[in-house]
Amino acid sequence: MLERMTVETGLTIAEAARACGISAHTLRYYERAGLIDGVGRAGSGHRRYSDEDLAWIEVLQCLRATGMPIRTMRRYAELVRTGDGNEFARLGLLRQHRVAVQRTLVEVRRHLDFIDHKIQAYEEKLNG
């Protein structure tokens, strides 16, 4: 992602966590897991997150929220860091994930239909 650099601007880990709606622990985990790379450092050695870092974290949150396994997220992050020339691999990875998300949506819709059916039955019983 970004080259490691020393910066005095940018958000601290606590500020970045707050801005992203996740914990500082999660940000550290993402870094250890190889999902975030090259976060800038202040002269003190403390992390400083740029707007680009925050945008990438948003991508990670979307992938994770849709159920992408960490190992697949790691592979995607590696492909992105490598740069141009591997778009076909990125596309394939995202297409596979899309199929999995679609399956999950079908299942969730089926569960929602069941819940709606039960709500309707209780409302009819209580109002009838």
pLDDT of res. 2? 41
pLDDT of res. 67? 97
Do the domain assignments include residue 7? no
> CA angle at residue 109 from 108 to 115, to 5 degrees?
90
Do the domain assignments include residue 102? yes
3-class SS at 95?
helix
What CATH number does residue 92 fall under? 1.10.1660.10
* Structural domain of 89: 13-127
Residues of the chain with pLDDT under 70: 1-8
pLDDT of res. 4? 42
Do the domain assignments include residue 6? no
pLDDT of res. 51? 94
Structural domains counted in the chain = 1
pLDDT of res. 128? 80
Do the domain assignments include residue 76? yes
For 27-62, give one letter per residue: b (16+ CB within 10 A) or e.
beebeeeebbbbbbbeeeeebbbbeebeebbeebee
Do the domain assignments include residue 4? no
Do the domain assignments include residue 106? yes
pLDDT of res. 3? 42
pLDDT of res. 8? 65
